[in-house]
Amino acid sequence: MNAPKLTAMQHGLQRCETCGLVSRPAPGKEESCCPRCGGELIFRKTKSLERTLAYLIAAAICYLPANLLPVITSTTFSGSESDTIMQGVVLLWSPTGWPLSLIVLVASIMIPSAKIAALLYLVITVRRGSIKSPGQRVRLYRLVEIIGRWSMVDVFVDTFTVALIQLQPLMSVQPAPGLFFFAAVVVLTMLAVESFDPRLIWDPASSKEVSYV
Amino acid sequence: MNAEGEIVPRESANQALADAALTACPSCDLLQRLPSVAPGQSACCPRCGTVLWRRRVESLNRTLALTVAAAILCLIANTVPMLGLTVVGRESFTTVAGGAKKLWENGQHTVALLVFFAAVLAPALQIGLLLLVLLAARRKRPPAWVGLLLRHLPFSRTWSMIEVMLLGVLVALTKIADYATVIPGQALFALFALVFVLAAMQSTFDPKEIWDRVEWAETETRKPATGGRTMEATA
């Protein structure tokens, strides 16, 4: 059984992730640098799955305090009140403001959890050497890559609420500890996306593929 | 460093291939030949469909024009007030960086730095890097440092979150509008325009056009051998 060589790696070639140049490493060398741009060259991202998984676990740990702890505290004469992210969504819900409320709900609660779940699925399938629908899994990865940044929206909402409502002693708003954990979830999931190497999804299929010419 | 003070590249540099059209898909690593593509068209990987190259019409000139516009808008957006509010005769104003400053004063240092980076520093870096790259790329043979700057562009792009911030500001506005009169500042309009200019700037930019002409990082030391350089840029 001699499968055809399909990928650059099977041909012993490396593609520079920065400038796109394909080049040949010296025999026996795994890591080197690109002759055109000088960037680091490796066949696949080093310890990609391990690093992605580590970031995901860290993100999952931060996810709980991010949603349970309050993100802002408002102080008025009648005392102070703390709001979590979910309470912020509920507060925004009104006959006219519901589209924005929905955006925050999707961006702050659904996207981070969906991102963790999607990346976990990708890591598990790659680790098992799955050859099922690699094309769709790569598309899932690209989707996660694009929409991930939108979960930062709540951080900005709270930042500018805090910056504007500084009308002591009438009313003032302070950031609360949950904000740190929420920002941590966003950053950690973005780092997890960065550490994952989508080419790993195709590798098992590349070594077995027969139908593709 | 050698006698002339130049940085000597690591000796482990790869050998370039004789066939300059050979490329690999960034998503599935399929080795293939990049077809010649007419301006405005794109080439996709036959196996996974990832876009390999989107050739743009007049890419460098158009991107330069948009980048200059973005630089001006970015300057305005960060110098004038973005939002204000009045409630029972009291006024309060904030700029973009002012938001990060308030968080810092309230003890949220890490988040303050993140907000400042994503809303001010990364967009400025993205615009500044691209401006330098595009100006230097007007030369027939762009120097190797253009490649160094170009390498850091994707990083600044990932973390530049003007559009996300604008949505955040919009939501904050709606929240605040319940108990105070909100005054939109000039920076808000500049940011709104900036979102579109940045998007246009990114989609007209074709880095391949610069990579094909740039001075190679490894040429200086490889001069006697020249084995490493097998391709000449095709205009």
Which pLDDT belongs to residue B79? 92
Q: Do A6 and B90 touch (CB under 8 A)?
A: no
pLDDT score, position B124:
95
**Using alpha carbons only, how large is chain B's radius of gyration in Å?**
23
Residues of A in contact with B97 (CB under 8 A): none
Across residues B73-97, what is the average pLDDT? Answer: 87
Alpha-carbon distance of B134 to B65, in angstroms, equals 10
Minimum distance, in Å, between the CA of residue A146 and any CA atom of chain B: 9
Are A32 and B114 within 8 A, CB to CB? Answer: no
pLDDT for A70 = 92
CB distance from A24 to chain B under 8 Å?
Answer: yes
Cα gap B218→A36, rounded to integer Å: 7
Q: Specify the CATH number for A45-208; select among 1.20.140, 1.10.3470, 3.30.365, 2.30.29.
A: 1.20.140
Determine contact: A208 vs chain B, CB below 8 A: no
Tell me the C-alpha distance between A213 and B217, whole Å.
36
Contact present, B158 and B30 (Cβ < 8 Å):
no
Tokens of B13: 């540099």
Segment B200-222, tens digit of pLDDT: 999 999 888 888 888 887 765 44
The answer for A 70-89 residues in CB contact with B (under 8 A) is 88
> How many beta-carbon pairs below 8 A join chains A and B?
251
Mean pLDDT computed over B27-36: 87
Of B24, B48, B161, the CB nearest to A8: B24
Which residue of B lies nearest to A15 if distances are taken between CA atoms? Answer: B24
The tens place of each residue's pLDDT in chain A, 213 residues long, gives 456 778 888 888 888 888 888 888 877 777 788 888 888 888 888 899 999 999 999 999 999 999 999 998 888 888 888 888 888 888 888 887 788 888 889 988 899 999 999 999 999 999 998 888 888 999 999 999 998 889 999 999 999 988 888 877 778 888 999 999 999 999 999 999 999 999 999 888 887 764 443
Which chain B residue's Cα is nearest to A71?
Answer: B108
Quick check: B211 and A37 CB within 8 A? yes
Indicate which of A22, A30, A87 best probes the interface with B, i.e. most B CBs within 10 Å of its own CB: A22
Q: Which residue of A has its CA nearest to B90?
A: A167
Q: Is the separation of the CB atoms in B210 and B142 below 8 Å?
A: yes
Percent of residues, chain B, with pLDDT higher than 90? 34
Instruction: Please confirm whether the linkage preceding A169 is cis (ω < 30° from 0).
Output: yes
Within 10 Å of residue A190's Cβ, how many Cβ atoms? 21
- Among A100, A163, A167, select the one facing B171 at the smallest CB separation: A100
Give the pLDDT score at A42: 85
Which residue in B151, B169, B180 is closest to A156 by CB distance? B169
- Window A:95-114, CB contacts with B under 8 Å: 97, 100, 103-104, 107
Give per-residue pLDDT as tens, B91-146: 888 888 988 998 999 888 999 999 999 999 999 999 999 999 999 888 888 888 88
Does the structure show a pLDDT above 70 at B193?
yes
Q: Does A147 touch chain B (CB under 8 A)?
A: no
For testing the chain B interface, which of A100, A160, A203 should be mutated: the one with the most B CBs within 10 Å? A160
- What are the sequence ranges of the domains in chain A? 1-43, 45-208
Q: Which of A32, A138, A187 comes nearest B14 by C-beta?
A: A32
Nearest-by-Cβ selection for A160 from B83, B90, B222: B83
Is residue B173 over pLDDT 70? yes
Helices A111-127, A178-195: axis angle to 10 degrees equals 30
For chain B, the average pLDDT equals 83
Measured CA to CA in angstroms, residue B28 lies from A5, A123, B53, B79 at distances of 13, 16, 15, 45
Cβ proximity of A103 and B175 under 8 Å: no
Residues of B in contact with A175 (CB under 8 A): 103, 106-108, 111
Q: With an 8 Å Cβ cutoff, is B199 touching chain A?
A: no
Is B12 within 8 Å of A33 when comparing Cβ atoms? yes
**Residue B120 at interface with chain A, using a CB cutoff of 8 Å:** no
Determine contact, residues B171/A153, Cβ cutoff 8 Å: yes
Percent of chain B at pLDDT > 70 equals 88
Q: What pLDDT was estimated at residue A87?
A: 85
